[in-house]
């Protein structure tokens, strides 16, 4: 059963977080960095409900760096979305993340993908960023938190790990489950995501 059918502790929400790394850090290579990031999220007071398998995926856009190790976690928290995002940025900083190049190689990346079924900041803004053309995505980033993550439905490296931990989570705008969104992606995108060695 996915997370849709399970209740979070009273007063908390289930949050889905995507993790990625394709550079070594003070704790080791990308695999060790992802696992350390999960530990740090837990140390900061969020309850880890599920951790996906670790996957190797090509860097995006193609040729922008070495392969990534990607994973996803489901956590319970009573923190508001902005507080969760701030906590994730703290974890990234502790692991040496420097934000310089959009979609470039990085030591660690923690993306707040969902916060329950919240749509933030509003339906119109979420739709704008979700529908933005790829060329424009590469040049512009939102200056506020957008939930669900506007590219969630387009990325096999996000949906494959999410299918491990929350296959039945339903996108509150699209009305599609994680498995349905994954099924809609091109086969070559799905095939490019493989278990990390």
Average pLDDT for runs of 10 along the chain of length 197 = 42 90 92 97 95 92 83 96 95 80 69 96 94 83 93 96 97 97 97 94
**Whole-model pTM?**
0.90
Please name the helix (run of DSSP H) or strand (run of DSSP E) that holds residue 127, with its range, or none: helix 123-131
Q: Is residue 137 part of a domain?
A: no
Q: Is residue 43 part of a domain?
A: yes
Instruction: Specify the pLDDT at position 3.
Output: 43
Q: Which domain holds residue 65?
A: 3-118+150-195
Decide if 30 contacts 136 (C-beta within 8 A).
no
Question: φ and ψ at 20, to 5 degrees?
Answer: -150, 150
Given this model, what pLDDT does residue 5 score? 35
**pLDDT digit string, tens, across residues 21-44:** 998 888 999 999 999 999 999 999
pLDDT of residue 85: 95
- CATH number of the domain where residue 108 is located: 3.30.70.560
Q: Are 126 and 119 in contact (CB under 8 A)?
A: yes
pLDDT at 176: 98
Domains of the chain: total: 1
Is residue 129 assigned to a domain? Answer: no
Query: Domain for residue 107, yes or no?
Result: yes
In-domain check, residue 144: no
Residue 98 is predicted with a pLDDT of: 67
In a domain, 110, yes or no: yes
Q: What is the pLDDT of residue 7?
A: 41
* pLDDT value of residue 121: 95
């Amino acid at each position: 059963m996915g997370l849709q059918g399970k209740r979070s502790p009273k007063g908390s929400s289930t949050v889905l977080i995507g993790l990625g790394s394709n550079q070594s850090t003070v704790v080791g290579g990308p695999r060790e960095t992802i696992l350390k990031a999960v530990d740090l999220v837990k140390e900061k007071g969020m309850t880890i409900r599920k951790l996906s398998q670790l996957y190797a995926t090509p860097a995006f856009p193609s040729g922008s760096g070495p392969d990534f190790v990607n994973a996803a976690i489901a956590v319970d928290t009573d923190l508001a979305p902005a507080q969760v995002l701030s906590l994730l940025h703290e974890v990234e900083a502790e692991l040496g993340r420097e934000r310089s190049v959009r979609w470039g190689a990085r030591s660690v990346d923690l993306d707040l993908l969902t916060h329950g079924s919240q749509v933030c900041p509003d339906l119109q803004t979420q739709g704008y960023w979700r529908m933005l053309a790829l060329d424009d995505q590469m040049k512009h980033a939102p200056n506020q938190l957008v939930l669900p993550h506007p590219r969630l439905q387009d990325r096999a490296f996000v949906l494959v790990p999410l299918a491990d931990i929350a296959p039945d989570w339903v996108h509150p705008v699209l009305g599609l489950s994680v498995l349905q969104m994954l099924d809609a992606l091109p086969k070559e995108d799905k095939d490019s995501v493989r278990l990390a060695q």
